[in-house]
Each structure stands twice: as C-alpha cells, then as structure tokens.
C-alpha cells in the first residue's frame, strides 16, 4: 500500500458516510492535511464536522483537550459556544412571538422595567437585529477576570451598561453588541415563567434530542467530555480563567458538541421544530431604516462565500473559539469547535466549505514570526496625508491585530508572512513595514484597494 493509499485510508476513518466520502475523497484529503497542520497533535486543538445534505462526511478531532496531561480531544467533547448562543436565544424569542406572547415592535421596557428610557424607543426587533445602538458591555479587562467566576443575575448584567448613552438612534445603524441579548433573555423568562435554561431545554434541546447541549454545563455532563480551555498571555499558553454560566447567560452561555449542532442545523433546514416563518426570520438579512443591508439576521450573520449565501456565526470565550457555517444552496454544514481563545475558526470553516464546493479560497499559513519577534511592530501609526487618521497594531492574546481607535469593533487580525510584511485575507489588506538605518520600525505602507503611507508616532 503506497503513501497515497495510506492517507486515503486514514482520512476515510474520519467519515460517517463512506459513499459521500468516496465522492469527496480529494477535497477531504486536502482538508484533512490542512487541519493536521492547523492543529498539531501536541497542542490545543479542535473538533471538526462536515455534513452534506445532512449526512456527515467528515468528523474528526485534532490536538489536546488537556495539554499538561496530554489528553487528546475527541468529537464527543462538549465545548463552550460563546456568541453562537445568540441564534438559540433569538429562536426562543421568535417562538414567543409566534404564540402572540411577545411582539417584535414591543418596547423593551414592557418586559425589563428597570432598563431606563433612552429618548428613543428600543424594540425587541432592534435587539434581535443588533440595531439598538446600545453599547457593547462584554469587555472584561485583565484586572477584572475575577468577575467571570462570580454568579450574576440577569439584572446585574444589565446594570453594567443600563446607564450608558445610545451610540445612535435605534434602527438607523447596525452595530454588533452583546448588550442586546441579556435583555432578550429577561424577555423570555418574564413571558414564559421559566428560567432561560429551563425554557431552552424544554422547547429546543429536549424536543430535538440535543442531549449534550445546555445553557452551561449540566451536572450529568461527564468531566472527561469537557476539554480544558486555553488562552495566551505574553506569548505563554495558560489555562482559561474560571467562568460561570450566569455571566455569559443569553449572550454566550450555551455548551454543545459538533453532532448536536448538526442536529440543530437539520432542524432549521427541515423545519422540524420551528416554523418556516421563524427560520426565515432568523436567516434573512435585515436592513436599517434607510434600507441598507446589515449582513445580519437574528443571531446569524448573512454573508457570501464565493458568491453563495452563507448563514454563519462564531463564538469566542476565555479559552474557546468556534464557528458554524451553512451554505443553503449546496446544503453544506461545517462546524469547528476549538479549545483556545482567538483561534481562526471562522476562516478555517470558510476555507473548508470553499474546498468542498471546489472553489478554494486563499488562507494564510501559520505566523512566520514568534511572539517576541512580532513585538517591534506594535504601536500607533498616523496617516501621512491625513493626520486625523490613526491606526494601532497591538496584541490581543497571541494575535497581532490592526485596530482602528475611531471605529471599535472593526479590528482585524494580521498575520506576518515574513520579517516586514503582514497580511489579512479576510480584510484584503497588506502591510509592509519600513525601518530606519538602525533597524527600528518607523512606518508602514498599507495596500487595500489603494496605497496609503503611515508613520509610527508611538
């Protein structure tokens, strides 16, 4: 048996449907090789599932669930989903709307009486569609990590940001904000008389037999099925801080597996639990008052991959990153669950899907520089032709990020490809750094649909 036959045999072992595996053997072999390089077996890793027309054609785990104990990840493990929770919260709200217990144009104060008036009417629809203008609250600094292990009531979460001024008139702009979803969690609890955990279990997870899914970990979840989460501090891999479910609540508290998430995908596709109207509302792009598309439905981003519509959402918590992507036109589902903060799971899922449809997108390799080598590029840069424009390059965990002080939330990861060039395929930008005679970084040239020059000022 030659090497290619051995590789094909090993890849086949990751498949549930060998007929489809045969059909996609070339694409899946390419994906398997990529994932093996992306998630080395001696480091943190990911569980990956690919399905075509509801049939699993690839299901495999890479890397370690516990680095110290050298315990391998497996596909049965239960991961924290972070912001992927929002699609379930949204579905629950729409169930109540369909039962005429909630209306999309209801003011939020009808259900959350302690949330103050803001001069503009904020409706349930504004919260679902991320057009409320409420500033994002879920931004915990390093000296506040202890708050993640403290139990919070929904009211306590909301009080963190209740007095903040709106960023814009509701409905006029799209701005993703975690602050919207604790309010929606309270709506569900007020109307149903159940806790959010009870409501989701009784009305979504149990009917679909999603036995490994819950709003945070249930007592009957075996510890051996829960991987350790990790993050990077100053170039060193460390265990994630303790997080309790009440802190992330309706924003990001759901835990699940790749198989249960496929079950959820099929329920949406086949309308086996939710009505056609609810699914359409979840997965249809919303618009602002002036008719501009937001790229968001309710709890899902609505985007494109190689010209085809995608329904996708990722999640990030302190030790976990994930993404689930669906291509409705081709009925392809890709799920990537990783046990390390700020992994590029969205890019990985997009790449996998593009290979399956036979139109691979570009994806950068791993960083060419280590943590110490990247430090010299950090700093503040001012545009030469417009001194009002400022960009920053900084570390977020172990990622190098291009940050725009005047447009928070628009930051993008940039990856070094050599000792002077960084790229982001997602933002289609290339940065080439310049040095002075002593070798210090003094500026950068940015290529993104044009050329701009920036000088380092700090």
The model's pLDDT over 292-335, given as tens digits with 9 standing for 90+, comes to 999 999 999 999 999 999 999 999 999 999 999 999 999 999 99
Could you tell me if 352 and 397 lie in one domain?
A: no
d(CA 391, CA 304) in angstroms, rounded, equals 28
Could you tell me if 310 and 227 lie in one domain?
A: yes
Could you tell me if 350 and 451 lie in one domain?
A: no
d(CA 224, CA 221) in angstroms, rounded, equals 9
Could you tell me if 226 and 266 lie in one domain?
A: yes
Q: What is the mean pLDDT of the chain?
A: 92
Could you tell me if 309 and 344 lie in one domain?
A: yes
Could you tell me if 379 and 317 lie in one domain?
A: no
Question: Which element (helix H / strand E) includes 199?
Answer: helix 196-200
CATH of the domain at 329: 3.40.710.10
CATH of the domain at 394: 2.40.128
- Tens digits of residue pLDDT in 381-411: 999 999 899 999 998 877 888 988 877 667 8
In a domain, 206, yes or no: no
Task: Calculate the CA dihedral of residues 366, 372, 376, 380 and round it to 10 degrees.
Answer: 80
Domain boundary among 296, 330, 356: 356
* Confidence check: pLDDT of 444 > 80: yes
As given in the structure block, the two tokens for residue 318 are 């302190």
What per-residue confidence (pLDDT) applies to 9?
A: 44
Those residues whose C-beta lies under 8 Å from the C-beta of residue 188, and which sit 6 or more positions away, are 89, 92, 93, 96, 194, 196, 199, 250
What range defines the domain where residue 426 resides? Answer: 371-456
Q: Which residue has the tokens 């994930």?
A: 322
In a domain, 237, yes or no: yes
* Confidence check: pLDDT of 138 > 80: no
- Tens digits of residue pLDDT in 201-239: 999 999 999 999 999 999 999 999 999 999 998 889 999
Domain boundary among 356, 389, 409: 356
Could you tell me if 331 and 376 lie in one domain?
A: no
Could you tell me if 381 and 254 lie in one domain?
A: no
3-state secondary structure of 228: coil
Could you tell me if 381 and 338 lie in one domain?
A: no
As given in the structure block, the two tokens for residue 398 are 């172990």
Domain boundary among 356, 384, 412: 356
What per-residue confidence (pLDDT) applies to 365?
A: 79
For the chain, the domain total comes to 2
Contact indicator for 263, 209 with CB cutoff of 8 Å: yes
Could you tell me if 275 and 400 lie in one domain?
A: no
Contact indicator for 180, 127 with CB cutoff of 8 Å: yes
């Amino acid at each position: 048996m030659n090497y290619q036959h051995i590789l094909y045999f090993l890849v086949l072992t990751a498949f549930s449907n060998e007929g489809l595996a045969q059909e996609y053997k070339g694409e899946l072999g390419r994906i398997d090789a990529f994932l093996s390089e992306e998630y080395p077996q001696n480091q943190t890793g990911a569980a990956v599932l690919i399905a075509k027309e509801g049939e699993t054609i690839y299901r495999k785990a890479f890397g370690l669930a516990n680095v110290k104990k050298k315990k391998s990840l497996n596909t049965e493990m239960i991961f924290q989903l972070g912001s992927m929770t929002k699609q379930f919260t949204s579905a629950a709200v729409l169930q109540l709307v369909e039962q005429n217990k909630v209306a999309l144009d209801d003011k939020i104060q009808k259900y959350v009486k302690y949330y103050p008036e803001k001069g503009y009417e904020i409706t349930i629809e504004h919260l679902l569609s991320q057009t409320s203008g409420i500033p994002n609250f879920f931004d915990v600094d390093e000296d506040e990590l202890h708050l993640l292990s403290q139990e919070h009531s929904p009211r306590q979460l909301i009080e963190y940001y209740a007095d903040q001024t709106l960023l814009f008139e509701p409905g006029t702009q799209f701005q993703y904000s975690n602050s919207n979803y604790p309010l929606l969690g309270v709506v569900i609890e007020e109307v149903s008389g159940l806790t959010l955990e009870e409501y989701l279990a009784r009305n979504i997870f149990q009917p679909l037999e999603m036995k490994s899914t819950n709003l945070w970990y249930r007592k009957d979840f075996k510890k051996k099925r829960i991987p350790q989460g990790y993050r990077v501090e100053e170039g060193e891999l460390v265990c994630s801080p303790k997080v309790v479910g009440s802190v992330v609540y309706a924003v990001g508290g759901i835990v699940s597996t790749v198989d249960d998430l496929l079950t959820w995908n099929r329920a949406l596709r086949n309308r086996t639990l939710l009505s056609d109207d609810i699914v359409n509302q979840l997965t249809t792009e919303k618009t602002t008052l002036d008719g501009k598309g937001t790229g968001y439905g309710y709890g899902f981003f609505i985007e494109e991959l190689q010209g085809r519509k995608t329904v996708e959402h990722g999640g990030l918590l302190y030790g976990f990153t994930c993404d689930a992507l669906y291509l409705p036109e081709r009925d392809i589902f890709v799920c990537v669950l990783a046990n390390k903060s700020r992994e590029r799971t969205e890019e990985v899922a997009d790449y996998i899907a593009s290979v399956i449809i036979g139109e691979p997108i570009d994806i950068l390799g791993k960083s060419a520089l280590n943590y110490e080598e990247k430090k010299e590029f950090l700093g503040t840069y001012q545009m030469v032709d417009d001194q009002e424009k400022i960009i920053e390059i900084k570390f977020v965990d172990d990622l190098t990020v291009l940050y725009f002080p005047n447009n928070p939330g628009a930051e993008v990861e940039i990856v070094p490809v050599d000792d002077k060039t960084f790229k982001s395929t997602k933002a289609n930008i290339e940065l080439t750094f310049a040095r002075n005679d002593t070798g210090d970084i003094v500026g950068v040239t940015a290529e993104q649909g044009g050329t701009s020059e920036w000088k380092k000022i700090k």
